[in-house]
DNA sequence: TAAGAATGAAACGCTACCGTAACGATTGAT
DNA sequence: ATCAATCGTTACGGTAGCGTTTCATTCTTA
């Protein structure tokens, strides 16, 4: 982006995207959940519960529960680490990728009419 | 903004802002709540519960409860309409304006390092 | 191999949100 | 003057999130 967003533009962008999310039929995730989802998809694996908790400065149960919820929605998947069976590796799914694609589209589209 | 956001940029922006929100000590509002707050501050008054509900495509109790929560935080204020005492006019507050200022700053700052 | 550390999950109590339905207050119409 | 319509709120039952603490499993190391 060439020009950083001014106050009014930033708020309009935020408003438009949020409004579309509220309108839409998508499951609307909590702030923490989206952040976790984005971290999983934007940073390089492997992602363990502990790593995610540390990155987001939240407790491990927060991550576990968020993965429970998003797992039910097929947005992420869990897998035991075969090397160290204490670890759980969080993995991406097709539905999760699609979800973020749509989110990105929404942001991109909203950014066009500022 | 001169150049609309690409997929990776959009998601990075979203991630960074959300992460800052999760880290921060601010009360993190729900998706609906922020949307309501933004609507109140960006669109011209008067704002009634019914209008807000219609704009966001949600039921009136959702608005009432969101105003309850945000009212406790002094982010918005309620006032009876003197002309038609059935109506409640939703009004802005200093704290609400500051909250959105900080949000806008966050978005603006994040938009700089894309 | 036995003791300890580390990991993720489960349990517990709490708070808060949602959708639907019912309600009191106020206004407008007949 | 009533009766119906409108407005916002409250009540109810249900779901889901949070923080903290506790637990079972697995690995490490002494």
pTM, two decimals, is: 0.91
Q: Which of A10, A15, A39 sits opposite B39 (nearest CB)?
A: A15
B6 touches strand C (CB under 7 A): no
In whole angstroms, D1 C1' to B86 CA is 21
pLDDT band at residue B2 under the 50/70/90 scheme: very low
Whose structure tokens read 């995730």?
A: A29
Burial profile A70-101: b = 16 or more Cβ within 10 angstroms, e = fewer? beeeebbeeeeeeeeeebbbbebbeebeebbe
Residue B26 CA to residue B28 CA, distance in Å, equals 6
Model pLDDT for residues A34-77, shown as the tens digit of each residue:
999 999 999 999 999 999 999 999 999 999 999 999 999 999 99
Q: Is the pLDDT of residue A79 over 60?
A: yes
Contact B19 A56 (CB under 8 A): yes
Model pLDDT for residues B45-62, shown as the tens digit of each residue:
999 999 999 999 999 999
Instruction: Give the nucleotide with minimal C1' distance to the Cα of A68.
Output: C9
Contact A21 B31 (CB under 8 A): yes
pLDDT band at residue B3 under the 50/70/90 scheme: low
Distance from CA of B2 to the nearest CA of A (A): 6
């Amino acid at each position: 982006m060439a020009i950083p967003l001014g106050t009014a533009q930033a708020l309009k962008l935020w408003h438009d995207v949020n409004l579309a999310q509220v309108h839409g039929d998508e499951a609307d995730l909590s702030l923490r959940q989206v952040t976790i989802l984005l971290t999983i998809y934007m940073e390089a694996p492997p992602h363990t519960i502990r790593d995610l908790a540390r990155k987001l400065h939240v407790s491990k149960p927060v991550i576990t529960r968020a993965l429970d919820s998003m797992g039910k929605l097929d947005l992420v998947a869990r897998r035991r680490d075969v090397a160290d069976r204490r670890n759980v590796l969080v993995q991406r799914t097709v539905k999760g990728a699609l979800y973020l694609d749509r989110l990105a589209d929404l942001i991109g589209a909203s950014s066009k009419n500022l």
